[in-house]
Amino acid sequence: MSAAPETLEFPAPDMSGLGAHYWGALREGRLEFQRCGACGNAWLPPRSECPKCLSPQWKWEAASGKAKLISWVVYHHAYHPWFAKRVPYNVSVVELAEGPRLISNVAGERPLKMDMPLQLSIEREGEWALARFKPV
Amino acid sequence: MRGNVVIAGVGQTAFGKLPGRGTISLNIEACRNALADAGVEKSAVDALLVKPPTSNPEFMYGSTLATAMGLQPRVGGSWDQGGAANISLISFAAMAIEHGQCEIALVTYADNPRTGSRHAYEKAWGDDAAYGWFGVPAGYAMLARRHMEQFGTTSDQLGEIAVAIRNHGAANPNAQLRQPLTLEQYRQSKWVVDPLRRDDCCLVSDGAAAVVLMSARRAKQMGVKKPVPILGFGQGQTSWEVPQRLDLTHTQAEISGATALKMAGLSAKNIDVAQIYDCFTITVLMTLEAYGFAPKGQGGPFVTGGRLAHGGALPTNTSGGLLSETGMPGLQLVLEGVRQMRGEATTQVKGARTCIVSNQGGIMHTHSTLVLGEPS
């Protein structure tokens, strides 16, 4: 397993296009998702058309922060040098109360359980802000 | 068109670490062997379909291979569907033959991620790299955890799958990994991405495989020995990324399997031997459920007690699959299905008359199914 880039730089998100708004909002303390103006569907990650009705009419909406745990894994191998000192670390699939799902990290002392309630906890990672979650 | 098209020949290279060999060279060796097995001259081939290599994806790969093989096929090209592509290409070739678009088709695949790049298996999943979301094993681990939480599936049940398949590989002189596995050894196997251990994960391999297809009638005219009829095929594309899937334990493999079995006029209970894409053990368990071998959620209990082992009720991956014959995505499973139907497998299932083969790619994003029958 040797293909990871030889750099200690944080694997930074793409700030071009819709990413600029999404990651910018997180820096300001808001997790935002998109809601379709035509059919009401809500989604993440950011995209230019509603994946349900294909409408380009949508708005950003702030998430309440309430969520539940869909599934999780624990990495014992670092695929990127940035994470070498963090193994073992958690990566989870989280579902917001408003519907959209996203990849996140769920931290905490309590054993994790499918569908357990979670609360958003936006955390700084250098100049970035990440939407992490904690069990309620 | 059930049974109208046959697999007339199969060929492969050595599997494992093949330094100094490019994928074109590996493809040609596998095609040469498949043509010899079928008793077909290269000049008779009028279709060349190839799954692009994961180690070095390139534009117009099908034409590059055709040039190297001195072919100007009627039907040709490549299809990017990840690990499902080989059976999808076989299905497409079968339909093209049935409808007079071509007569004799080569479907081939070569890859060399072991000596070349394995980036495709380890890369970041877009912006989610910020959360540490990298690599193919973690995607399957995410599905496995949900299956465990939802249905009570256990690590030992995944281990039973690895044990059965690794022991089949140990009996295969051409397998890359010939070390058998016990459940006790499995339990000691290190986590890669919990809940998947090293022994839940397939090999990374160099190698190639190819098949020759033609109509059953043509095979009879040409005197092909033991042509293996294609009884059915189907596809189902789950497509959505793992976090966007509303139900992590259901995939479109259900549609794929149902389509193939309906075309074959069979159900899971009529299948004698299975070659199920085993990039990870959980893939086998979920595919067996999707195909109707076990009710949804009951894949865990189904695979225990040696059911997948030689001598069990559903011998599975009888040449060692991706876990031990070669990590090559998919075509080796078709070759073993053909050997089983011909009665020529190393670990032969006595009296086997039907074989189901699954191919799938991504994190169960793509799926394709093939049903083979005994030579007439």
Chain segment A37-86, per-residue pLDDT in tens: 999 999 999 999 999 999 999 999 999 999 999 999 999 999 999 999 99
Give the SS3 label for residue A79.
Answer: coil
* CB hemisphere CA count around A119 (13 angstroms): 3
* CB hemisphere CA count around B373 (13 angstroms): 20
DSSP for B243-256 reads GG-S-TT--THHHH
- Determine, for residues A71 and B122 on separate chains, whether the beta-carbon distance falls below 8 Å: no
State how far the Cα of B339 lies from the Cα of B214, in Å rounded to an integer: 17
Question: pLDDT over 90 for what percent of chain B?
Answer: 97
Chain segment B37-69, per-residue pLDDT in tens: 999 999 999 999 999 999 988 899 999 999 999
Residues of A in contact with B250 (CB under 8 A): none
Amino acid at site B316: T
Q: What angle do CA B364, B189, B319 make, to 5 degrees?
A: 60
Q: Kindly give, in sequence order, each residue whose CB lies less than 8 Å from that of residue B140, ignoring residues fewer than 6 positions away.
A: B196, B279, B280, B282, B283, B363, B364
* Residue B173 predicted with pLDDT over 70: yes
Residues of A in contact with B191 (CB under 8 A): 74, 76, 88
Give the nearest partner residue to B127 out of A45, A77, A82, using CB atoms. A45
- Residue A109's pLDDT band, with cuts at 50, 70 and 90, is confident
Give the nearest partner residue to A4 out of B122, B143, B194, using CB atoms. B122
State how far the Cα of A17 lies from the Cα of B70, in Å rounded to an integer: 46
Residues of B in contact with A10 (CB under 8 A): 130
Residues of A in contact with B130 (CB under 8 A): 10-13, 125, 128, 130
Mean pLDDT, range B118-122, rounded to an integer: 89
Q: Dig out the tokens for B153 from the structure.
A: 């599936």
Mean pLDDT, range A93-120, rounded to an integer: 95
Chain A interface residues (partner B, CB cutoff 8 A):
1-4, 10-14, 19, 45, 70-77, 79-80, 82-83, 86, 88-89, 91, 93, 101-105, 113-114, 125, 128, 130, 132
Chain segment B108-118, per-residue pLDDT in tens: 999 999 999 98
Residues of B in contact with A79 (CB under 8 A): 122, 124, 134-135
Q: Tell me whether strands A58-62 and A66-75 are parallel, antiparallel or unpaired.
A: unpaired
**Does this model's pTM top 0.95?**
yes
* Residue B196 predicted with pLDDT over 90: yes
Tokens 């995410």 — which residue? B142
CB pairs A-B closer than 8 Å = 100
- Using only C-alpha atoms, chain B has a radius of gyration, in whole angstroms, of 19
State how far the Cα of B304 lies from the Cα of B285, in Å rounded to an integer: 11
Residues of B in contact with A113 (CB under 8 A): 149
* Residue A1 predicted with pLDDT over 50: no
* CB hemisphere CA count around B179 (13 angstroms): 7
Does residue B374 contact residue B341 with C-beta atoms inside 8 Å? yes
Q: Tell me whether strands A66-75 and A89-96 are parallel, antiparallel or unpaired.
A: antiparallel
Q: Dig out the tokens for A65 from the structure.
A: 């922060």
Mean pLDDT, range B6-16, rounded to an integer: 97
Residues of B in contact with A83 (CB under 8 A): 132, 134
**Chain B closest-CA separation from residue A20 CA (Å):** 12
**Mean pLDDT of chain A, nearest integer:** 94
* Residue B133 predicted with pLDDT over 60: yes
Give the nearest partner residue to A76 out of B127, B128, B194, using CB atoms. B194
Does residue B87 contact residue B357 with C-beta atoms inside 8 Å? yes
Does residue B37 contact residue B212 with C-beta atoms inside 8 Å? yes
* Residue A2 predicted with pLDDT over 60: no
Give the SS3 label for residue B122.
Answer: helix
DSSP bridge pairs for A132: A121
State how far the Cα of B102 lies from the Cα of B94, in Å rounded to an integer: 9
State how far the Cα of B196 lies from the Cα of B193, in Å rounded to an integer: 5
Does residue B121 contact residue B135 with C-beta atoms inside 8 Å? yes
What pLDDT is recorded for position B94?
A: 98
**Closest by Cα among B137, B146, B147, B362 to A93:** B146
Tokens 């008359």 — which residue? B353
Q: Most A CBs within 10 Å: which of B55, B133, B364, as the mutation test of the A interface?
A: B133
How many C-beta neighbours within 10 Å does residue B180 have? Answer: 14
State how far the Cα of B162 lies from the Cα of B281, in Å rounded to an integer: 6
Q: Kindly give, in sequence order, each residue whose CB lies less than 8 Å from that of residue B345, ignoring residues fewer than 6 positions away.
A: B318, B319, B336, B339
- Determine, for residues A75 and B193 on separate chains, whether the beta-carbon distance falls below 8 Å: yes
Chain segment B269-297, per-residue pLDDT in tens: 999 999 999 999 999 999 999 999 999 99
How many C-beta neighbours within 10 Å does residue A118 have? Answer: 26
**Mean pLDDT of chain B, nearest integer:** 97
What pLDDT is recorded for position A8?
A: 79
Cα torsion B122, B124, B129, B133: sign: negative
Chain segment B294-335, per-residue pLDDT in tens: 999 999 999 999 999 999 999 999 999 999 999 999 999 999
- Determine, for residues B122 and A105 on separate chains, whether the beta-carbon distance falls below 8 Å: no
Amino acid at site B266: L
Which helix (DSSP H) or strand (DSSP E) does residue B222 occupy? helix B216-222
What φ, ψ does residue B225 adopt, rounded to 5°? -80, 130
Does residue B253 contact residue B360 with C-beta atoms inside 8 Å? yes
Predicted complex ipTM? 0.95
Q: Tell me whether strands B105-111 and B47-51 are parallel, antiparallel or unpaired.
A: parallel
**Closest by Cα among B228, B215, B212 to B12:** B212
Q: Dig out the tokens for B376 from the structure.
A: 């007439």
- Residue A7's pLDDT band, with cuts at 50, 70 and 90, is low
What pLDDT is recorded for position A77?
A: 96
Does residue A133 contact residue A92 with C-beta atoms inside 8 Å? yes
The least confident of A27-31, A94-98, A104-108, B48-52 is A104-108
Give the nearest partner residue to A11 out of B124, B142, B143, using CB atoms. B124
State how far the Cα of B212 lies from the Cα of B42, in Å rounded to an integer: 11
